Amino acid sequence: MEFDRTTTLGIFAVLIVIGAGGLLVSGVMATSTVLMMVLPAMIVFGLVCLAIGVRYGEHRTTRRA
């Protein structure tokens, strides 16, 4: 499966919405806490993981023997 920019952003957005939506629906935390603290942290962490994953993928493709 090939990931282009649109597919990657779509999957990223779906994962963030599912995670934040689950927290909002479960009532574990206040809505303001989820939206002001958890959601931005999820986005930043996701972007860091995405950047590391892209770099690792580039590394793997250039080291093929």
- Phi and psi angles of residue 29, each rounded to the nearest 5 degrees, phi first: -130, 165
pLDDT reported for residue 29? 92
Whether the pLDDT of residue 35 is over 80: the answer is yes
Higher local confidence (pLDDT), 46 or 63: 46
Q: Are 16 and 40 in contact (CB under 8 A)?
A: no
**For residue 56, what are its two tokens?**
């690792």
Whether the pLDDT of residue 65 is over 70: the answer is no
